[in-house]
Structure 1
Amino acid sequence: MSTSASTLQEEGSIDEFFNVVATETLALFEHLEFDFFSEFDVFAPARRGRTRDHHPPELFRAFLHCYYKDIYGIRPVTRELQNTVVWLSCGFDRPPSRDAVDRFLTDLEHVVDEVFDHLVEQAAARGLLDMTYRIDSTDVRAMPSDPDASKNYDPTAEEYYYGYGCTIVSTGAKIPIAAEFTESKQAAEETAMRVTRDALAVAQPIWMLGDSAYDTLDWHDLLLTAGVVPIAPYNPRNTDDPLNIKYRVEDRIEKHSDEIQLKQSILDETYNRRSQVERTNDAVKDCGLGTLRARGRVHARAQVFLALCVRLVVAVTNYERGDNPGSTVITV
């Protein structure tokens, strides 16, 4: 089992605590490739003036470590990296400055979705995806001091909140494979279409599940054209002549194919697996999505995708160690 800092400190074993930190941190990085940072010009030294010494792989490892330990924000991350065992475990030859940490997070926002895509590829290469995709949106609650966040309504919780949103496609053992940072939890149809295309670019599933918010003709036709069966509950909305169907796909297949038939019992059984996406959302929130300590849209978006990256890294690490990839904890 993992050991908390407070427990070890109460026992007076501060050296043991740092050994646990180092062991878990090294486990996070042992099986993953970070050399893809060399592809991004945004981290190159400035052509004129002060050299921007980012150490991208080391700082990315540092943020993964800190988010895994529930440490967020520029100052807390910088403080954590003053611990010798931590900065050595992350690959630094000396602790990074606060300015270096801040600059890295700012520049990372420009490429963090591509970094996320690289980690999705590593999860896919290990067979961690399955043939059922699920799409859903979740709230991302911000600090009251964030000037870019706004007041939004969460229809699931039936309450207002201050912050942003994130649309996620997940599969397998709580594995996020496509995502988009949004201004609110209720994302536009354009966002759903874009995230769906991103997910299909990873691999083609058999099924794609969404709630009634995804009961749109374009979303269904996109998936059916790609050879994927979309399942979203039919929402009659304001029509005066509602269809006698439970899922929109029943009508779309009837209109587009005379040969394919889907039993409603199979659709029901498959749709019942949609709740897995909510467990994925919870797992990503455990990795930082639920504790937004950033100020401003740039850092907020970077933190959202960093949380998604942490979830992928933990899943891959557990898989490589023979543990449950669905767990959000690395055992030592």
Structure 2
Amino acid sequence: MSTSASTLQDVASVDDFLNVAAIETVPLFEHLEFEFLLGYDVFAPASRGRTRVHKPPDLFRGFLHCYYENVYGTRPVTRELQNGLVWYYCGLDKPPSRDTVDRFLTDLEHVIDDVFDRLVEQAAARGLLDSTYSIDSTHVEAIQYNDAASWNYDPTAEEYYYGFGCTIVSTGAKIPIAAEFTQAKQADQETAMRVTRDALAVDTPIWMLGDSAYDILDWHDHLLAAGVVPITPYNPRNTDDPKDIEYRVEDRIEEHSKDVQLKQSILDETYNNRTGVERTNGAVKDCGLGHVRARGRVHARTEVFVALCLRLVVAITNYERGNNPGCEKL
């Protein structure tokens, strides 16, 4: 793959990525203020006593560049980083070997959640979140050699796929703010509750939208207790006496509060905004979530979160440049 000099110059700007030192003026990611460090302390020596020699921030820059240029998987990433301009602009002393790239991806798993959370905080600080959150699950296709993946059914596409799943809460201009990697596309109730709690820890919205898969009583009651109005279509599954409602919240509001009334038109109008999470899923897939080439669950999950991080970085950078943060390219 050929890489333009202008693109590489942008990549060079990640010199301050994950650096606690003073931020220099650089074209890309220049306004991201990271207060954490992918430090060497989280990268333990190998089991046989050989110290792992690589620079975590520099290799992370390399991964960001590769994902932005649609290069995925340890072999293709290693090949891309053999390009003299690429490894130079990413701050590496020399092209990394495939073993180094592979070890780094394994080590990154220990801190990738913190990287993602910090980026979400920066998006929130810039006012990129709005008062409506949406939750949805999407499929993550895996390579056939990934023994940790499994065959799953995607009811949206009405077909089977080999891979994993990812549950995402998004808001604003295609901004993911909470996520979890799952074995299948459809998340269980425990995962839905955990991702929802993570999203509410960022900020408290007015609305939380989900499809009928989130017609879960505990999920609704948790959100209502937090002062959030959940809107999901009522799913009359496993009942001989279905309720005369369109949204589960109508029943929960009536049961918990007689002083609160929600107009059907408002619920309908608000629920129509749920398509925003589908656009977020699409944007994150373009950042790499749809191209998981790793073997094993650990590497696959890490690659998914790198894609989520890249989507946030692109949104924040576009905002700082005065561009639409919803744009998927810089």
Same fold at TM > 0.5: yes
Q: Distance in 2 between matches of 1:35 and 1:51?
A: 26
Q: Deviations over 1:214-236 (max 9, x none)?
A: 00100000100000000000011
Q: Distance in 1 between matches of 2:213 and 2:73?
A: 33
Matched residues, percent identical?
Answer: 74
Matches within 5 A, 1:247-262: 247-262=247-262
Contact 2:38 2:111 in 1 (8 A): no
The equivalent of 2:175 in structure 1 is: 175
Q: CA deviation at 1:42?
A: 2.2
Q: Paired residue for 2:215? A: 215
Which structure would you say has the larger RCO, counting Cα contacts within 8 Å and 6 or more residues apart? 1
Structure 1 residue 35: Cα displacement:
5.3
Give the alignment partner of residue 9 of structure 2, picking from 14, 19, 23.
23
Q: What does the per-residue CA deviation read over 1:156-179, in whole Å, with 9 as the maximum and x for residues that have no partner?
A: 111000000000000000000000
Q: Distance in 2 between matches of 1:134 and 1:281?
A: 11
2 CA distance for matches of 1:46 and 1:156? 44
Matches within 5 A, 1:114-133: 114-133=114-133
| Residues 175, 280 of structure 2: 8 Å contact kept | yes
- Output the TM-score relative to the length of structure 1: 0.91
Query: Which residues in structure 2 correspond to 1:314-325 (within 5 Å)?
Result: 314-325=314-325
Q: How many matched pairs? A: 316
1:224-263 CA distance string (max 9 Å, x none): 0000000000011121111111101111111111211110
Q: Deviations over 1:181-219 (max 9, x none)?
A: 000001101100000000000111000000000001000
More deviation in 236-245 or 202-211?
A: 236-245
Query: Where does residue 36 of structure 1 map in the other structure?
Result: 36
Distance across 1 between alignment mates of 2:176 and 2:129: 9
1 CA distance for matches of 2:224 and 2:72? 41
The one-letter code sitting in structure 2 at the alignment partner of 1:109 is: E
Q: After the TM superposition, which parts of structure 1 deviate over 3 Å for at least 4 consecutive aligned residues?
A: 38-41, 44-48
**Unaligned stretches of 5+ in structure 1?**
7-16
1:103 corresponds to which letter in structure 2? R
Q: Which runs of 5+ in 2 are unaligned?
A: 14-26
Contact 1:28 1:313 in 2 (8 A): no
Matched to 1:324, the amino acid is N
How far apart in 2 are the matches of 1:301 and 1:186?
16
How far apart, in 1, do the equivalents of 2:176 and 2:157 lie? 22
Contact 1:40 1:111 in 2 (8 A): no
More helix by share: 1
- Do 2:34 and 2:118's aligned partners in 1 also have CA atoms closer than 8 Å? no
- CA RMSD in angstroms, aligned pairs only: 1.7
How far apart are the structure 1 equivalents of 2:37 and 2:43? Answer: 8
How far, CA to CA, are the matches of 2:31 and 2:100 in structure 1?
Answer: 26
